[in-house]
Amino acid sequence: MLTKEQLKQIVVSQRENILKKSFGIERSVLKEIEQKRKMPHVVVITGVRRCGKSTLLKQIIEQYYKNKEFYYINFEDERLFNFDASKFDEIYETLVELYGECKTFFIDEIQNINNFETFVRRFCDNGFKFYITGSNANLLSKELGTKLTGRHVDIVVKPFSFLEFLKLKKFKFEKNMMYLTEGRVKIKKLFIEYLEEGGMPEYLQFKDDEILMRTYEDIILKDIIVRYHVDNIASIRELYQYMVSNFSNKFSYNAIKKITGIGSVNTVKKYISYLEETFFAKTINKFEHSIKKQLINDKKLYIIDNGFLKTLSTRLTKDKGWLLENIVFNTLNRQYVDVFYFSEKQECDFVTLKNKKIHSIMQVTWELNENNKSRETNGLITAMDTFKQKTGLILTYDQEDELKIGNKKIIVKPVWKWILE
């Protein structure tokens, strides 16, 4: 049981730490805060571990609250482990004594407190504003959705986008650079670095693989094994290693069950869902008009950041087309579209829907050449025919072209240019 004096030491040191924290690269999601801070809802900031949620809190505190008139608590602090939610009033009283009355709370890693939603709701009912972070999607959506129905709005923080990566590298991007030789050369060089290194902020700062390994270990141990009381630790590790090394390949739960020796298909489904709930990975379905068929058909899985692929994957191929595909998926996943893959007689990497209408159809390949041109274009045209679309997209590393096949138009474009446009 913490004394009042111990609590004061903790909250003072935590406030000093968040105020001393570097503002960092301004995150693109920061602009979403302007509207959400005026709403009476709890702002829930989620995302994979170490992707910059605390930095976003710092940016909100500085930009919208001028480093004043706020309370800050970090429940990742081991001194607050096993803190009882019913004792939250003691923290509040301590904060009032130290900083006077205030109506805004910033709370980091709130999922470490059981029943946190009880005090959040109570304080919200009394006019307080909460910004809370957490690393587990299911925990926050399920528990907040139940206890705070209609009272919370979500912001998902992801690793740096390519544009944020350029800012980190102090490269002042302007649109006309894509059409000038010198600008294209610089952009392509930085894109190759982004392709291989990814966008995890802390890793990019120190370039130590141990940071990504430790983040992955924390996800498996703290966010999955401990939280969900997983007993079969060897099997779940083997499963995740297989999924990371075979990202973007089609898989079925039944096949995974046989490969890993895990007892049942339901257990495989559950274990993969845990990985998705931490934001580390995301599965997509084959496009089908029938939801039932979507559920039973093979899936594909993509990883939140390419840095993890370099560090964790045992895939032997040196083909960077896989890395390109992973970046394209993560870019699409930022765009508020539903992403599927297409597979009939031919395959197409991505079909996206927006407001239940076809938004884009695209293939991804490192290079379009004589060996793969027929396969890539046929897969795209089959999908275009199926969805009655006249324009499709082939994304490559550095080719640009426009192909006419019958009444169809295929635009060939570099991934880096597509992202920056």
* CA torsion angle 337 43 74 116 (round to 10): -100
Cα–Cα distance measured from residue 65 to residue 33, given in angstroms and rounded to the nearest whole number: 12
Q: Please determine, for residue 195, whether its predicted confidence score (pLDDT) is greater than 80.
A: yes
Distance set, CA 29 to CA 53, 55, 177, 193, 221 (Å): 11, 12, 24, 23, 29
* pLDDT average, residue stretch 94-104: 97
Q: Please determine, for residue 317, whether its predicted confidence score (pLDDT) is greater than 70.
A: no
Distance set, CA 402 to CA 16, 177, 393, 406 (Å): 56, 21, 9, 13
**Banded model confidence at residue 323, pLDDT cuts 50, 70, 90:** very high
50: left (phi over 0), alpha (psi -120 to 50) or beta: left
Distance set, CA 8 to CA 102, 112, 123, 133, 179 (Å): 16, 20, 21, 22, 57
Q: Please, what is the average pLDDT of the chain?
A: 95
Give the rounded percent of residues in the chain with a pLDDT score beyond 90.
89
Give 15-49 pLDDT, tens digit per residue: 999 999 999 999 999 999 999 999 999 999 999 99
Cα–Cα distance measured from residue 55 to residue 17, given in angstroms and rounded to the nearest whole number: 11
Q: Please determine, for residue 371, whether its predicted confidence score (pLDDT) is greater than 80.
A: yes
Cα–Cα distance measured from residue 102 to residue 68, given in angstroms and rounded to the nearest whole number: 10
pLDDT at 149: 79
- Maximal CA-CA distance, the chain: 77
pLDDT at 318: 65
Q: Please determine, for residue 312, whether its predicted confidence score (pLDDT) is greater than 70.
A: yes
pLDDT at 316: 67
* pLDDT average, residue stretch 153-163: 96
User: Is 95 within 8 Å of 102 (Cβ atoms)?
Assistant: yes
Cα–Cα distance measured from residue 39 to residue 53, given in angstroms and rounded to the nearest whole number: 20
Q: What angle do CA 107, 282, 297 make, to 5 degrees?
A: 145
Tokens at residue 145, please? 């959705």
Give 115-125 pLDDT, tens digit per residue: 999 999 999 99
Cα–Cα distance measured from residue 234 to residue 224, given in angstroms and rounded to the nearest whole number: 13
pLDDT at 214: 98
pLDDT at 143: 78
355: left (phi over 0), alpha (psi -120 to 50) or beta: left
* pLDDT average, residue stretch 163-171: 97
Give 199-238 pLDDT, tens digit per residue: 999 999 999 999 999 999 999 999 999 999 999 999 999 9
pLDDT at 70: 98
Pick from 144, 140, 120: nearest CA to 130: 120
**Banded model confidence at residue 145, pLDDT cuts 50, 70, 90:** confident
Cα–Cα distance measured from residue 132 to residue 176, given in angstroms and rounded to the nearest whole number: 39
pLDDT at 137: 84
**Banded model confidence at residue 147, pLDDT cuts 50, 70, 90:** confident
Cα–Cα distance measured from residue 395 to residue 326, given in angstroms and rounded to the nearest whole number: 12
Give 79-98 pLDDT, tens digit per residue: 999 899 999 999 999 999 99
* pLDDT average, residue stretch 257-274: 96
Please tell me whether the overall predicted TM-score, pTM, comes out greater than 0.75 for this model.
Answer: yes
* pLDDT average, residue stretch 355-362: 96
Cα–Cα distance measured from residue 161 to residue 204, given in angstroms and rounded to the nearest whole number: 13
* CA torsion angle 302 241 344 265 (round to 10): -110
